[in-house]
Amino acid sequence: MTRTRGVLLAAVGVAACAGALVLLLGRYDTLHVTIERGTSDGIDAGSTVTVINDRLSVDRGTTLEVVNRDDRTHIVGPLTIPAGATRRYRFDEAGVFTYPSTVTTSGTVNVSVR
């Protein structure tokens, strides 16, 4: 066996093991939310601003990632995101949770974690 072929087989073996590990541990998704610049201007003007639905259903292990491009701090679920920042939260516990939100019509977000 040539050295190149041996390295290639080793790389394939490592990739297969990594893939099996993902299957065993589960693949967790990320829910990406972006609060665009000017969102707070719309809120101040009395517009109905809905950046995210006020009811979410996610699997345990799902990560909520919120990027705030606005010039004001916002609250989305369990996260407080300063202007220009990105924050992440992983839902590890099953249940139904109600959180405040500055970017939903109702002012809250209900998250069902299964």
Which is it for strands 74-76 and 63-68: parallel, antiparallel or unpaired? unpaired
Say how many residues make up the chain: 114
Short-list 90, 60, 61, CA closest to 78: 90
Note whether residue 101 is domain-resident.
yes
Predicted pLDDT of residue 1: 52
Note whether residue 43 is domain-resident.
yes
Q: By residue range, what is the domain housing residue 89? A: 28-113
For the entire predicted model, the pTM comes to 0.73
CA 26 – CA 32 distance, rounded (Å): 19
Q: How many domains does the chain have?
A: 1
Predicted pLDDT of residue 13: 38
Residue 48 structure tokens: 């109905």
Note whether residue 12 is domain-resident.
no
- pLDDT category at 28 given cuts 50, 70, 90 is low
Q: What is the CATH number of the domain that holds 53?
A: 2.60.40.420
Work out the average pLDDT over 57-77.
96
